[in-house]
Chain A
Amino acid sequence: QSALTQPASVSGSPGQSITISCTGTSSDVGGYDYVSWYQQHPGKAPKLMIYDVTNRPSGVSHRFSGSKSGNTASLTISGLQAEDEADYYCSSYTGTSTLVFGGGTKLTVL
């Protein structure tokens, strides 16, 4: 299975909105509504931010939202804050009962 494709880096200023894309195939992202997003600060374990494309776990800010179109899923962060600076990863459940991650995107808050 191949890793999902994410941009290596994105940046934005405080208060702005940014979007991170995650591209797969019809065997993973496009075939199932099982895309998740994780936030990882340096030296910490990843934190689940979005699951099943659009759902936020309890406690996750409403500034984080997810969507999907075809084989590409997206994470949007609105009202960017300094503490949002982190690495972000997407994942998708696949048709062969496996999980595949994206390569990760480094978000810089300018």
Chain B
Amino acid sequence: QVQLQESGPGLVKPSETLSLTCTVSGGSMSSYYWSWIRQPPGKGLEWIGDIYYSGSTDYNPSLKSRVTISVDTSKNQFSLKLSSVTAADTAVYYCARMLYRTSPDYWGQGTLVTVSS
């Protein structure tokens, strides 16, 4: 059974960079796409971007200028960096495995990141 776990700071200051890591257990990262998805409090889901195990990426156009997703298959981890954060970036951040690249089928439990000084 594949399991995903997000980790990283729960509080980030405005204008700084949000950094999260997702650790994958119970399965290989090979041949899958891996996504970051976020959900502001009380609001809907927003896809941030994804990465193939080989390292190719795609990003949400609205966030592309601020997002970097990377992968380290030797550690079974992939990571998210979101720069120049504002209060609007406060959200629960989920990492997920993509089924056939089109559908997140395994999700982490989510981690709340608050942007505040």
Please report which residues of chain B, range 19-77, place their CB below 8 angstroms from some CB of chain A when the two chains form the complex: 35, 44-47, 50, 58-62
Q: How many A-B residue pairs have CB under 8 A?
A: 63
Say which one of A9-17, A73-81, A99-107 lies at the interface with B: A99-107
Please report which residues of chain A, range 1-27, place their CB below 8 angstroms from some CB of chain B when the two chains form the complex: 1, 3
- What residues of chain A lie closer than 8 Å to B59, measured between beta carbons? 98
Is the CB of A36 closer than 8 A to any CB of chain B? Answer: yes
Smallest CB separation, B70 vs chain A (Å): 18
Please report which residues of chain A, range 32-82, place their CB below 8 angstroms from some CB of chain B when the two chains form the complex: 34, 36, 38, 45-48, 51-52, 57
- What residues of chain A lie closer than 8 Å to B35, measured between beta carbons? 99
In this complex, the interface size class of chain A, counting residues with CB under 8 Å from chain B, is: 20 to 34
B107 x A46 contact (CB < 8 A)? yes
B103 x A52 contact (CB < 8 A)? yes
Q: Which residue of chain B is the closest to A34 with respect to CB atoms?
A: B102
Is the CB of B78 closer than 8 A to any CB of chain A? Answer: no
